[in-house]
A and B are shown apart, each in its own frame.
Chain A
């Protein structure tokens, strides 16, 4: 059998292959030759064959049949064989392979070999990829070598020990004695690897950490070594661009960081050396900056004095101005870590950070963006937002979602005025509209709803945006919702903030219908626009067009759309009387999230009139403690506090709640007009019930129960009238009529009621909270009581008469017998 070709020969041959197929053919041929050579157990050429196999493995071809051969090479006595054998083991025999453990014995023998280079090979292999079992078996050998005086072996043993500890943490204790005088070595290799070993031990075990701090006095030793490195003259062996052994310096600084963290004494002991390194290190080359970087990280992490911290931040500030991109990147990363704790110091570098937003490098831009958001506060919001919005315009798509979310968050926290807030949102929606997160649409709708005085402005701007571009779904959704709600303001040209545009009802409907048919609109968006069109039926005069549109979609393929259209159709046909009430303006929604601009007005020289007091809100948001007053007075546990209908919580989707309304309607209810309230609020889900209990409703049963006067004092008279709720006969519906015979109006009138525990009570919103003077009108409010037995009730009345508040409590016992039978 001719000698197998040499490695270099093979490499040369393979490189001449012009196609992948040709290469594959050569490789297969050679593999076959190698296989048969292996079968012949040829010792002479095994090494050469395995080397060739390793080359082919690097090209991506399978080489597992060489695994056992590597083992044989390792067991050989020839150094060449061992060298290639161990290399092969490291490439082919990682711990996942079955035959991995077969190496253990060979490695053990070689760890005790007479030639240090063989020992080195074994240590290297063990330290790079030894499995946990292997580490367990051989830890003792490693520990022995850690104590040898041969620095060549000692340094390798130290790193091998690091690997053993990572694989089998319980073995850490075993290496402790050997670490005793590691740091008194002169050899830099040993010093460096010892510091790595000590770092690993301190990081893993708090006990070790305190042991090294207190008992071994590690900090002074490290400080001494570091000092020598800095102060000593030129040492050609370890010099890198004028700095003595930067690798060792960096590792020592890192270990100091761990030792100094949360420990005052250690931190104090290293203060001086840190200051020295920070001020004396050359910054012209990367090496020096690497050391400074590590120093800054250490200063920020330990309990350093403030002067040192300022020094560190200033170093980072200088880094930011460095021409080298890598340095700038590293500075931004570090500043991000420290921005929470040293906020003011970092603020000083804000303009440089903002400039980094314009950098070409993606990593730098991302860091700069994160840092910019961290630095936004009430004082710099306008300037910062300008920069960030500009960034949003021009950044890569991968950033847009995060940036948009960040902008919304910052705007919510620090917006100087509502107009600014809405303008900012508009800007984000129009520039990055397709990237904003899904939950921002309801958030924005809530924000817009609550900015009552900005409605006209907002709807106008959104309308104009829609004219330009209907592709960005979140923008389109918010816009169609607003047009649905405030379309009347749009058409009537009421905008105060900017020049009102002239737009007709038909134009608006054109736009909304356009959304419905456009291919760009998602099903969700179509839902929004259909609902908006429907809402406009109560705000616009041209209802027929809307009716037509709605009926067309009653046969839409999209089930969601079809359902909406069918229900809206039903509204037109059978429930037309309810339509205005159902499609009324949305009330102000309770905010569940962070305080918005309605609550906190950030300083910027601009004050805002505080949010329009929701005077028209029914007094349903009474805090619970008022009800508890009633509880106390009724004397006892047999009273249930008032169950008042609360404001509707934030809807999950703006279009959805209308469907909820419809869902709750009991379609068997008779006709009734809309509640005679002048209040622009609506009570979803009880509307129909409330309606059915209106006195205008002709219910035979109602006539049977006589009304009664519940309260009559100081000019305020409250009458109760009764109906049985239809269809639930267990519910008594009481309507209170409050009238005022005094000369002045009673304003801020609030009626509250409490009943014993066996009953359940529900209070709907009153028609108004002003009881006009001289019996010119009444305030009505509906109470529903479940399972009325012998009903008794405590009522509490509060109102303001001629500027002074009045409060009164009374008990109502004179319910007519028929009201609960």
Chain B
């Protein structure tokens, strides 16, 4: 996978994960143009399109578009499954996830993505394991914070 973008139906970016090194300017340009292209697609059209020299796989979940650019030898249908798996993870974590969850907790959305994919490939195929890892990491974060509050000197 080269990158994954999440954006709303108005074209606002909610998450961007890039697995290839590109300049900020290029990223902005690609984002802008791709978002336009995908938003222009009609609902009955298929989830795949050739754009520039990349294969794009996208799927809409409620008000959010999940859009990935994959390599030529990658399997488009399994990419749809990957997108679906990510949505399921978000759903389990946030409990019936909606766009607002991702807006207000974008850093968590990234953490979950980074437990599921690494370098553009799936690192864990078990839903349970991904969620467990996130849970543990969250706990670790809380514990330390908790300790900080207990022992921090008044400033």
Mostly, the A contact residues are: helix
Does A95 make an interface contact (CB < 8 A)?
yes
| CB pair B81 A79 closer than 8 Å | no
Chain B CB count within 10 A is highest, among A152, A247, A287, A327, for A247
Provide the residues of chain B in CB contact with A59, threshold 8 Å.
13
Interface string of B41-68 (1 = CB under 8 A from A): 0101111111000000000000000000
Q: Which of these, A11, A54, A290, contacts B81 with CB under 8 Å?
A: A290
Q: Can you name the residue of chain A whose Cβ is closest to the Cβ of B76?
A: A330
Query: Hey, which chain A residues are within 8 Å of B44, CB to CB?
Result: 325, 360-361
- B10, CB-defined interface residue at 8 Å: no
B126 lies within 8 A of A250 (CB): no
Q: Mark A127-142, 1 if CB is under 8 A from B, else 0.
A: 1110100000000000
Q: A80-B145, A87-B111 are in contact. Are A189 and B23 (CB under 8 A)?
A: no
Which single residue of chain A is at the shortest CB-CB distance from B14? A58
Docked pose: A159 CA to B122 CA in angstroms: 9
A289 lies within 8 A of B110 (CB): no
**Which of A58, A159, A189, A328 sits near B125, CB closer than 8 Å?**
A189
Residue among B13, B42, B141 with the highest chain A CB neighbour number at 10 A: B141
A240 interfacial by beta-carbon distance below 8 Å: yes
Q: Once A and B bind, how many residue pairs between them come within 8 Å at the CB atom?
A: 164
CB proximity to A under 8 Å, residues B15-35:
15-16, 18-19, 21-23, 28
Supposing A188-B126, A237-B126 touch, asked if A247 and B107 sit within 8 A by C-beta, the answer is no
Q: In the complex, how many angstroms separate the beta carbon of A26 from the nearest chain B beta carbon? A: 16
Contact pick for B49, options A95, A248, A363, CB 8 Å: A363
Q: How far is the CB of B151 from chain A (nearest CB, A)?
A: 13
The B-contacting residues of A in range 400-449, CB under 8 angstroms, are none
A162 touching B75, Cβ below 8 Å: no
Contact A330 B137 (CB under 8 A): no
Contact B128 A237 (CB under 8 A): yes
Count of interface residues, chain A, beta-carbon cutoff 8 Å? 70
Shortest A115–chain B CB gap in Å is: 7
Task: Note all chain A residues with C-beta closer than 8 A to B21.
Answer: 94-96, 129, 131
Within B117-140, the residues touching A (CB, 8 Å) are: 118-119, 121-129, 133, 136-137, 140
Q: How many residues of B contact A (CB 8 A)?
A: 55
Complex Cα gap A251–B75 (Å): 9
CB distance from B29 to the nearest CB of A (A): 12
Q: Mark A105-140, 1 if CB is under 8 A from B, else 0.
A: 000000000010100100110011101000000000
Q: Is A796 an interface residue (CB 8 A)?
A: no
Nearest to A162 among chain B residues (CB) is B119
Q: A360 with B45: in contact, given A117-B136, A123-B118, A162-B119 (CB under 8 Å)? A: yes
Task: Please indicate the chain B residues that have their CB under 8 angstroms from the CB of A87 in the complex.
Answer: 107, 110-111, 114
Let me know if A238 is at the binding interface, CB within 8 A: yes
Answer whether A83 and B141 are a contact pair too, CB < 8 Å, given A11-B103, A245-B125.
Answer: yes
Which A residues touch B70, using CB under 8 A?
none
- C-alpha gap A286/B46 in the complex (Å): 13
Q: Is B80 an interface residue (CB 8 A)?
A: yes
Bound CA–CA A189/B118 (angstroms): 12
Q: Is A717 an interface residue (CB 8 A)?
A: no
Contacts of A127 in B (CB 8 A): 118-119
Q: Bound complex: CA of A362 vs CA of B21, how far in Å?
A: 31
Tell me if A773 is interfacial: C-beta within 8 Å of chain B.
no
Of all chain A residues, the one with the shortest Cβ separation from B133 is: A152
Instruction: With both chains docked as a complex, state the minimum distance between the C-beta of B115 and any C-beta of chain A, in angstroms.
Output: 8
Give the chain A neighbours of B137 by CB distance below 8 A: 79, 83, 117, 120
Interface centre among B50, B78, B137, B140 (most CB of A within 10 A): B78
Residues of A within 8 A of B150 (CB): none
Selected from B13, B45, B128, the residue in CB contact (under 8 A) with A58 is B13
- A193: which B residues are within 8 A, CB to CB? 118, 121-123
Query: When the two chains form their complex, are residues A294 and B75 in contact, meaning their CB atoms are under 8 A apart?
Result: yes
Whether B39 sits at the interface, judged by CB under 8 Å, is no
Docked CA distance A8–B105 (Å):
8
Nearest B residue to A236, CB-CB: B128
**Known contacts A361-B44, A361-B45; A290/B78 CB under 8 A:** yes
Query: In the complex, are the beta carbons of A247 and B125 less than 8 A apart?
Result: yes
Instruction: Point out the residues of chain B lying under 8 angstroms from A163, CB to CB.
Output: 119
Closest B residue, CB atoms, query A258: B73
Instruction: Contact check, A293 vs B45: say whether CB atoms are below 8 A apart.
Output: no
Known: A83-B137, A124-B118, A160-B119. A328 touches B46 (CB 8 A): yes
A128→B119 contact, CB < 8 A:
yes
Q: Which residues of A contact B76 (CB under 8 A)?
A: 326, 329-330
A124 touches B114 (CB 8 A): yes
A330 near B77 (CB under 8 angstroms)? yes
A155 within 8 A of B: yes
Q: List 20 A-B contacts (CB under 8 A).
A: A8-B104, A11-B104, A12-B104, A80-B141, A83-B107, A84-B107, A96-B23, A117-B133, A127-B118, A128-B119, A159-B118, A159-B121, A162-B121, A188-B125, A189-B129, A254-B73, A290-B77, A294-B78, A330-B48, A361-B46
The 10 residue pairs across chains A and B that have the minimum distance between CB atoms: A290-B77, A325-B46, A189-B124, A159-B118, A127-B119, A290-B78, A163-B119, A247-B125, A361-B45, A237-B126
Further contacts, 7 of them, CB under 8 A, given A117-B140, A189-B129, A193-B121: A58-B13, A79-B144, A129-B21, A159-B118, A237-B128, A247-B125, A330-B48
